Amino acid sequence: MRKLILAAALLLLPAAVSAQSTTIDFSSLAFNGDTASGPRGVASPLNLNGYTLTATDPFGLPPILVYSSQSTNSADPGGAAIFANRNETGITITRTDGGLFTFNGLDLTYAYNDQNSFFAGGLATFTFDGGASVLTRSFDNLAGFQTFDFDIANLSSVRISADSPFQIDNVRLTAAAAVPEPGTWAMMLIGFGGIGAAMRSSRRRTIKLATA
């Protein structure tokens, strides 16, 4: 009997969605081309893995760009990485459903993925929730990505910009767990109340049978 009651209790638990982690690797944007292929424009907003990436360009050019999988400028050979056409305005990330999330981190490097003698490095700026807080990270001019970890929770948006051209990949995000609505809590409490009454009634019957 107790097993049945416990099973019923589990069924009454709210159908809250647990926190879900994802890595946006932009692989769906990959395309073939030779090593000298120029970047291809990507429409904005860009929806991937439950998140929306937006960017703007004041001159009407494609705001988000991606190199071919074979381009030597790509820091993800055989895959894809993106960069903003205007590095100073950058790329903003939000959840497509408007929910909160944790910004766990990303890979970032110089947009052209080469040791440019005219470029000593750059400063990336991470703006959270429209300016509620801001962090900066330095990146070098060497080929290959640098990994940056943050783990900043309860965000509605993060904007990535820099004082020099940059590309990003493997953006790591965790969607916040859904909070049950008041009606769900009320139904759960009523259900647990009924289960409690059933358990008390079951105990009384057991005692009567034992003393009979």
Single-letter residue type at 163: D
Residue with tokens 């004041």: 58
H runs (alpha helix) in the chain: 2-12, 182-211
156-166: pLDDT as tens digits: 999 999 998 89
Q: Measured in whole angstroms, how far is the alpha carbon of residue 201 from the centre of its chain?
A: 48
Predicted confidence at residue 190, as pLDDT, reads 58
pLDDT band at 189 (very low <50, low <70, confident <90, very high): very low
**Strand order across the 46-48 sheet:** 46-48, 51-54, 91-95, 158-162, 122-128, 133-139
Residue 67: Cβ within 10 Å count: 29
Indicate if the pLDDT at residue 180 is higher than 80.
no
- The whole-number average pLDDT for the span 90-96 is 97
As given in the structure block, the two tokens for residue 85 are 């056409």
Q: Is 81 helix (H, G, I), strand (E, B) or coil?
A: coil
Indicate if the pLDDT at residue 5 is higher than 50.
no
Indicate if the pLDDT at residue 172 is higher than 90.
yes
Residue with tokens 């050979």: 77
Indicate if the pLDDT at residue 65 is higher than 70.
yes
**What count of Cα atoms within 13 Å lies in the side-chain half-sphere of residue 43?**
3
What is the spatial distance between Cα 44 and Cα 131, in angstroms, rounded to a whole number?
22
pLDDT band at 202 (very low <50, low <70, confident <90, very high): low
pTM: 0.78
